[in-house]
Structure 1
Amino acid sequence: MFVVTADQRASRVNADAVPAALAAVNRRDAGELALAPERTAGDELQVAIADPAAALSIVLELTRTEGWSVGLGVGAIELPLPDSVRAARGPAFVHARDAVERAKRAPTRFALTGDGSEDAEALVRLLIEVRDRRTPEGWEVYDLLAGGVTQREAAARLGISEGAVSLRAKAAALRAEEAAVPALERILARLDAEAGSSPERPV
């Protein structure tokens, strides 16, 4: 099981970003989430996630801006699951707390904690570094292609040539991300399985 704990950075001088982040996470398929996201303390949110692809997607969404320190914990969650993520317990939550505290000191604003998670953390951080270098023009192309449009359609919407779209996509390393994401999802799935992360009953 995966737990994301995210803390808004510079929350004293910036507008409250928690409601928008909660809405973004809540738009996902309910089957991907073990427990719905909630504000847990101040400008912090937390969500428990059953699906490794959804966990990675949430991490990438929250780290797209510099507004969040994001910790991802991997481990078991005690059964029975409570109605609120704030009442949940288990190693995944302990790991997520450790991860978010380390994320606050990391240049990529991300950390991952779980047994044997060092390699996975390094690779996710590498992808975040690639995304951090992306220009606003690169993100324009990313958003259009991620929305299902073709390069030809993206060119028409942006008022540029298909060649210019291809150049933007190359500069933004979109093909590298497209290949990296499924690989990272598989790595997270193996980490989850090796951690014995099925929900556990309290002793």
Structure 2
Amino acid sequence: KQEELWQSKESLLIRDLTNALKIIDQLRNEKERLEEQKDEKIKKLKAQLQKRKEEVEVQFFEEEFPPLGSSQVARPFMEAEIHHFGNATSSPKVRKITNQLYNVKVEFDIPDCSTFGTTAIIDTGASACCINKKVVPKEALEPLIDDVFFNGLNSRQQATHKIKQGNFLIEGNKFRIPIIYAFDMNDSNGIEMLIRANFLRSMKGGIR
């Protein structure tokens, strides 16, 4: 009888251990399921946050650097009015200021496009950022929706493209690319790019 009692207790113990192992397996599986669910939620949340971040950045640049409409004209070149006085009546003449501005090296980093760079000037008189189309690879350009015209002293040119979104370095300082209009800049001073001062100001830059 005592042996039968021990066998009965042993059977009960084995049963309890078996049930405990099953519960442990169930808990382990549930833990793995919850971790996978958590990872999936974190992944979706990160994707949503990244998308929202990009939307906010695009909205910021559109508000800070609104595209020029079809009825607007950008004036990227600085002009100076000079009056000569003599025996005759004064006659105003207009000349372009020579390139005595701050020249900076600019390097562009655009997805799916080889890195390229040029020299730019910081122009407080520019109403928009623009670049010579000849120094920009074709894969870094995208067409404009609206017609945009740029007035020089003796010319009027139309911009049909702009630089794609990405980043660019100004003397090693990284910024997101604002709206930069690309067209044939036939400038006698060899200026390849103009950066309007308001861009640096909006990015907390040091030029005022």
Instruction: Give the structure-1-normalised TM-score.
Output: 0.24
Higher helix share: 1
Higher strand share: 2
